[in-house]
Structure 1
Amino acid sequence: MAFTFKQFHIDDLNCGMSVSTDGVMLGAWAPLAQAKHILDIGAGSGLLSLMAAQRSRGQITAVELEVTAASACQYNMAQSPWADRCNIIHCDIQSFCQQAQYQGYFDHIICNPPYFEHGPKASEHHRAIARHTETLGFTPLLDAITRCLSPKGYASLILPIQSLARFKTCLNHAELYLVQAVWVKSVENKAANRVLLLLTKTQNEPCQHTELTIRGEDGNYTEQMIELTKGFYLKL
């Protein structure tokens, strides 16, 4: 499925990793403006990489395991205005983070990780890889972030609420600290069902908790959501 934003276009080329509201929120929210070297873990068709390129002047390195998605990501990067700042590497993040030149290199890491640890898998193989932790559990993900993140860098992620407890358990055993959490409600007056997370290697910042509501009870985007995403969505 193809999706056109104000400054770039995403075509998933049938890789099963199309544009999602989660991805757009994460790419628009992550504090990327000052980042010089950005790593996109599990890049899919390149949404977060291109959002990062639009919002910063940094160099973007995307890592993607699934071959069809990596091809889609390469294609979308090449068609974008920032092709000279974007690079896709087709490999698993566990191998990537072992390379000496990438350890402690990135001042921002962004990831919309697989999160379903149990339950039925998507029938389409590529989408199953994108959504399940079988190929990238939280512990190896946090290990990769720890290895690749610079001492004063940040990592931004988004998770469903039901995966947060397991993620925090893994985080307790990692050399990373949660400094910001945004509880995301799909609709006003409903319970939050997503959370945006900001991690760092230093614990000198107290964790800040805020909320974001995507739609009001009338079904329209809230002012919060409009302000967050107006640089990307065509109709905002």
Structure 2
Amino acid sequence: MPFSFKQFHIDDSRCGMPVSTDGVMLGAWANIKQSNTILDIGAGSGLLTLMAAQRAEQLAQTAAGLTSNAVKIVAVELDDLAAQDCLDNIANSPWAEMIEFHHGAIQDFSAQHLAQCQAKRSPLFDSIICNPPYFDNGPQSTQQQRATARHTDSLSFSELLKHIELLLAPHGAASLILPVESEARFTGALTQTSLAISKRVSISTVSNKPPRRLLLELKHQAKIESTEHSSLVISDPSGQYSQQMIALCREFYLKL
């Protein structure tokens, strides 16, 4: 279903995973400060890419000597139909010139980009954002696109983290969102890399419910002194967005 934000529009009609609260929270929270190069892994409809572009432009307007023209965002998407949505949404946005799109697997993009880095034609990424597949068992959707987008058959945590580790600059940060029940598997895969969690936000739908999602920021271990823990509640008991949620997402949602 098409979805309009304050500064851009998303048509996700061909995408396996539609616009979601998870994606909006991640896009608003992801650490892209002082980032000249940003990578969106599994871009889908382009939501995270366009949120990063909007934020990069806003950051440039408040930072002396920095312009959004200096920022390059790369979106990588494997699925053919989602790629069509992503390309259309980028082209119809105010930031098309800032964004480069790659249609293919992150494994192939990673190999190509690392070769360019070795030839000193491209830098590693200051920021990586990803709303990854997270189910590795249980029933899969009968809609193949949605099953691919949600299940790790197409991209395991180990495979994803390997490429984040390779593509993330030494000073960089990667931002992801996961269901709470996937945390153990994710952190198990994380121990096989040089990355560690620098920030962990537990998210509850309402204040009296246990956390259901986690926002995670990863950095190379050498850059981490300790993990910062916090929490976020989406709605108050009356069903209205909490002040935390409003503060996080007010630059995007039309009615905030």
| TM bucket normalised to smaller | over 0.9
Say which of 170, 181, 202 aligns to 1:162. Answer: 181
1:229 and 2:249 correspond: yes
| Matching of residues 5-20 of structure 1 within 5 Å | 5-20=5-20
**Distance change (3 Å), C-alpha of 1:129 and 1:102:** farther
1:18 Cα offset (Å) = 1.3
| Separation in structure 1 between the aligned mates of residue 132 and residue 75 of structure 2, nearest angstrom | 13
Paired position in structure 1 for 2:108: 95
Flag the structure with higher helix content: 2
Secondary structure, counterpart of 1:24 in structure 2: helix
1:13 Cα offset (Å) = 3.1
Secondary structure, counterpart of 1:227 in structure 2: helix
1:32 Cα offset (Å) = 1.1
1:202 Cα offset (Å) = 3.1
Larger Cα-atom Rg: 2
1:59 and 2:75 correspond: no
Output the TM-score relative to the length of structure 1: 0.97
- The alignment-based identity, stated in percent, is 53
1:212 and 2:232 correspond: yes
1:102 Cα offset (Å) = 5.3
1:73 Cα offset (Å) = 0.3
Runs of 4+, deviation exceeding 3 Å = none
Paired position in structure 2 for 1:132: 151
Say which of 110, 115, 119 aligns to 2:134. Answer: 115
1:15 Cα offset (Å) = 2.1
| Separation in structure 1 between the aligned mates of residue 19 and residue 243 of structure 2, nearest angstrom | 22
Output the TM-score relative to the length of structure 2: 0.90
Gaps of 5+ in 2: 57-67
| Separation in structure 2 between the aligned mates of residue 14 and residue 77 of structure 1, nearest angstrom | 15
Q: Deviations over 1:145-176 (max 9, x none)?
A: 01111111000000000000000000011110
* Aligned partner letter, 2:244: Q
* Aligned partner letter, 1:15: C
Gaps of 5+ in 1: none
1:94 Cα offset (Å) = 1.0
| Separation in structure 1 between the aligned mates of residue 193 and residue 111 of structure 2, nearest angstrom | 17
Secondary structure, counterpart of 1:199 in structure 2: strand
